[in-house]
Amino acid sequence: MTSSSVSDPVLADVEAAADRIASTAIVTPLLESPLLNDRLGFRLFVKAEPLQRTGSFKFRGAMNRLAQLDTGERKRGVVAFSSGNHAQGVALAAKLLGVPAVIVMPADAPAIKIANTRAYGAEVVLYDRRTEDREAIGAKYASDRGMTVVPPYEDARIIAGQGTVGLEICRQLDGLGLKPGAVLANTSGGGLIAGVAIAVRALAPAADIFTCEPADFDDMGRSLVAGRRVANPPGGVSQCDALLAATPGEITFRLAQPRLTGGLAVTDAEVDDAMRAAFEYFKLVVEPGGAVALASVLTGRLPRRYDNVVVVASGGNVDAPAFAAALNRAQPL
């Protein structure tokens, strides 16, 4: 059973999502390092989503979506497919609401993501991402058990939930008497950047908004240039397991295209450097995919200087050996 069609989200939907998830989601801090600001020559703020429940922003969209299931849908349960962060978000939201959940995950996902998803009580189904189709597997569970599919980004209610990140950014800066000059967010299928763009464009219309991606998976950035959705070339490899979608979502690209300023891309080595910077300057553990926006600033990819720059550190679910290896490979600023 697929999600029913709803209208594209607007600011009011993001605000409603914030109210809906207020009792369960964390308003994550906006971190700042005076030492790093001095080195950069401008104020940089990090929206610390590794401190969100389940360790990433994905809990926001999952909770907003599952909270809107009707009684029958809650009883039959939900099925989702994810490399890990959406999986954990859906699993915890389902646990809190008493909803059965099946999560289809790649067998090579980080062990911590698989273990945590199971620990939240979800039934985990592993698949080979090179030879099997996760959406087909999810569709079979939906058909056989009458479950509701909860996609990682192609759902207006998911996008509205992720948009609460942008809503909080604007509210937190407003509390400091500031407006964002630029806001950068990591992108895979586009749910986060689309939601953030809805909120920021409405509340801080003068801000520039950038999508940030791994160099071989910059489909959103290239789609913006092309004016249409384009796919990544086959054969690309990146440690940013959370950002490996083949192409932007249809809904997310439609929402993001008129609101975004442009796209930025960074290498895995630059991601390592950003992970180390997040640890040293903000005392924050960030997974590779979660560090791409920060890397885009630290490498100077941001095309011009802004007074107040905000980057979304989107997640912190990284295995300890992989995190240690990244820090060891990284070059200090």
Q: pLDDT by residue for the chain (333 residues), tens digit each?
A: 444 458 999 999 999 999 999 999 999 999 999 999 999 999 999 999 999 999 999 999 999 999 999 999 999 999 999 878 999 999 999 999 999 999 999 998 888 889 999 999 999 999 998 899 988 999 999 999 999 999 999 999 999 999 999 999 999 999 999 999 999 999 999 999 999 999 999 999 999 999 999 999 999 999 999 999 999 998 899 999 899 999 999 999 999 999 999 999 999 999 999 999 999 999 999 999 999 999 999 999 999 889 999 999 999 999 999 999 999 999 988
Cα 215 versus chain centre, distance? 17
Same domain, 304 and 235: yes
Q: Give the domain-ending residue among 138, 155, 172.
A: 155
Same domain, 245 and 307: yes
Q: Residue with structure tokens 């490399």?
A: 83
Question: Is 242 in contact with 188 (CB distance < 8 Å)?
Answer: yes
Please give, one letter per residue, the 3-state secondary structure of the chain.
CCCCCCCCCCHHHHHHHHHHHCCCCCCCCEEECHHHHHHHCCEEEEEEHHHCHHHECHHHHHHHHHCCCCHHHHHHCEEEECCCHHHHHHHHHHHHHCCCEEEEEECCCCHHHHHHHHHCCCEEEEECCCCCCHHHHHHHHHHHHCCEECCCCCCHHHHHHHCHHHHHHHHHHHHCCCCCCEEEEECCCCHHHHHHHHHHHHHCCCCEEEEEEEHHHCHHHHHHHHCCCCCCCCCCCCCCHHHCCCCCCHHHHHHHCCCCCEEEEECHHHHHHHHHHHHHHHCCCCCHHHHHHHHHHHCCCCCCCCCEEEEEECECCCCHHHHHHHHHHCCCC
Same domain, 107 and 256: no
Residue 249 in domain: yes
Q: Residue with structure tokens 């200090």?
A: 332
Same domain, 306 and 162: yes
Same domain, 216 and 147: no
Residue 66 in domain: yes
Same domain, 174 and 271: yes
**Structural domain boundaries enclosing 182:** 11-56+157-329
Q: How many domains does the chain have?
A: 2
| pLDDT on residue 2 | 42
Same domain, 24 and 52: yes
Q: Give the domain-ending residue among 96, 124, 155.
A: 155
Residue 323 in domain: yes
Q: What is the CATH number of the domain that holds 72?
A: 3.40.50.1100
Q: Give the domain-ending residue among 155, 178, 200.
A: 155
Same domain, 151 and 162: no
Residue 2 in domain: no
